[in-house]
Chain A
Amino acid sequence: MVETTLFSLLHGLALWIGEVAQWLIKVTGIKEIQFIGDWAVTGGPVNFLTILLVCAIFMVAALLVGITCIWQERKVLGRIMDRRGTQVGMLGLFQNFADAIKTLLKELIIPRDADKKLFMWSVTGLIGSSVLLLGLVPWSTRFFVANPELTLLIGLAVFSLAPFFIMIGGWASNNKYSMIGAMRGAAQLIAYEIPILMVVLSIIIMTGSLNFNVIVAFQQTHMWLMFPLFIGFITFFVCGIAESERVPFDLPEAEAELVEGWQTEYGSIQWGLIMMADYLRAYVVSALITVLFLGGWDGPTFLWPEVWYLIKVFFVFFIMIWVRSATVRIRTDQLLKIGWKRLLPLSVVNLGIAVVMKAMGWF
């Protein structure tokens, strides 16, 4: 029996829409346009419509999860600080939408001497690359957008585009604070890319694949990679916090030193989109940790695999919030020292452990 994937489910819907269109055209009785109705039920348009529907549904679901991450952060931080978090609507769930409307209604200000095209396009690039990441992480074997062989490689390639856009945004703002913040942000992101790649390399060695489905299937048959590669798990977690520019590694927007970092000049919905992109990247980091180390959608069968996946993602994000609430921001030199002197050797050690395990035939 073929498992019902999101694609096959929506394929039936698209085929039905095509048949309705064919019937409607047939009802008109005009002979000259009958071929459009016949064409609507062929493979090409139906597949195209299916892909559009899949993208729409998956993106809406993933964005809702991203928004829920923001809500979760606000509520958990409220609990930790012994205060109420958001309060608009049921459990404060609508506060994010209220804030979105508020940022939308603000005036869009572009500095006079800024490079306007780059200033606008860097935000587009950042949010575009972040949203592209959403589609690369599958929720289960049946709920995904695309499933290429090299998903992990593509994902990390898109993930590492951020320093480029941050650099451009900071430079185009024509502001010293933005420029310094952008340089610091780029230095941080590049420094923490490398341990991530090394850890991912160890996972590739262990599982022998770059495909998320294969990686999760490997963990289902053996064990969650968190246990053999614990050092790598911790390294990946710390680097992921740094990559998504969260406390204690939020140097690019250190408001005490750099006003608001590289995003000083961005206001209105641009700022809203940048914040949204930050949270989407944090969600993607949580999703990567879930899929690579925590067995993805692996879990007892009384719940859907998608639910297990979401539970794990939210748990990882909760730990990120917890770390955020507990720690203070560190200095630039400390940050780079931790990146190059601690995490990089740790990731190399982790790689060695993976190689030894594979060579001994334990996995």
Chain B
Amino acid sequence: MVESSNNPRDKKLRATGYMLKPLWVTLRTMVRVSLPGHRPRTIMYPWEKSIIPDCFRGRPGIILDKCIACQKCVKVCPTTCIKMVQIEHETLGKVKRPEVNVGRCMMCGNCAEVCPTNAMIVTPEFELASYTRDDLIYDPIKLQHPWKAGYEINYEEQLPSNMKGPAAKKGSMELKDTVCLEAKKCISCSRCEKTCPTGAVKMTDTGEVNEKTKKPIKRPVFDDTKCVSCEMCVDVCPKDCLTMKEAQ
């Protein structure tokens, strides 16, 4: 219906290409769809659910037994929606476990990715609507979710942008931040030993003796195989003598 030109694109706009072909396509579709036995593609949502892909990331969930309260998820959360709270558990006793404000959560799955023990998982739950904002704050008990293979995030390979050395699995030794001790500042308070969730820190005698108190001086020694580089010892150190050394 447009004046003819040499441009091949204009052929689409002529009467056959513009009117007759689309009319034929729509008529064919309509007849095919209207025949008995055909079901429209519409998903009747409240009654039917769409099939969720395996890599779907819904709200975070937690397995309380696995958690070591290392607070890595709290530190990594980009929207700061995770908070550590103390709970009273039947078998675990008085422990600290993360609490997630799902209303603020952006379902990035970073907490599950960073978790050293795979206690934090991503669940396929996405229907999170509630009548109040308070209902959206999931305490550790409410946050629990039965584990199923595939809920935790394990990167087999690194992203190209992060590729510095060979590919490393989560928890492997090669690419892990380690704690560095500045021995001069240390006052042997052994707080790092008490806070370490994995028992990687041990106060050991250095052989020297304090001249004033005549007691042996103790310094922390870090067991890198146990360490999950959660930085809790760094945070708790009163003299800032501990720092994280980045993985090379």
Contact = CB atoms under 8 A, between A and B. Distances in A.
Interface of A: 76, 78-80, 82-84, 322-323, 325-327, 330, 334, 337-338, 342
10 contacts: A80-B29, A82-B29, A82-B40, A83-B40, A322-B23, A325-B26, A326-B19, A326-B23, A334-B1, A338-B1
B30 A80 contact: yes
Interface string B71-91: 000000000000000000000
B18 A327 contact: yes
Q: Is the interface of A mostly helix, strand, loop or mixed?
A: helix
Contacts, number: 41
A270 B202 CA distance: 77
Interface in B1-35: 1-3, 13, 18-19, 22-23, 25-27, 29-30, 33-34
Interface in B34-51: 34, 40-42
B20 to A, nearest CB: 9
Given A326-B22, A327-B18, A83 B41 contact: yes
Contacts of A79: 30, 33-34
Contact of B40 (A78, A337, A338): A78
Interface residues of B, number: 18
A330 B1 CA distance: 10
A301 to B, nearest CB: 30
A181 B185 CA distance: 76
Q: Is the interface of B mostly helix, strand, loop or mixed?
A: helix
Nearest to A76: B30
Contacts of B25: 326
B1 A326 contact: no
A76 B27 CA distance: 11
Given A83-B41, A326-B19, A330-B1, 14 more contacts: A79-B30, A79-B33, A82-B29, A82-B33, A84-B40, A84-B42, A322-B23, A323-B19, A326-B22, A326-B25, A327-B19, A334-B2, A337-B2, A338-B1
Contacts of B18: 327
Contacts of B23: 322-323, 326
Contacts of A323: 19, 23
Contacts of B3: 337
A84 B42 CA distance: 6
Contacts of A84: 40, 42
A322 B26 contact: yes
A338 B15 CA distance: 12
Nearest to B38: A82
Contacts of A78: 40
Given A79-B34, A82-B29, A322-B27, A327 B22 contact: yes
A322 to B, nearest CB: 6
A36 to B, nearest CB: 60
B19 to A, nearest CB: 7
Contacts of B29: 80, 82
Contact of A326 (B2, B26, B33): B26
A330 B33 CA distance: 28
Nearest to B22: A326
Contacts of B42: 83-84
Nearest to B15: A342
A112 to B, nearest CB: 35
Contacts of A338: 1
The interface centre, meaning the residue of B1, B23, B26, B34 with most chain A CB atoms within 10 A of its CB, is B26
Contact of B26 (A80, A330, A334, A342): A80
The interface centre, meaning the residue of A76, A78, A326, A327 with most chain B CB atoms within 10 A of its CB, is A326
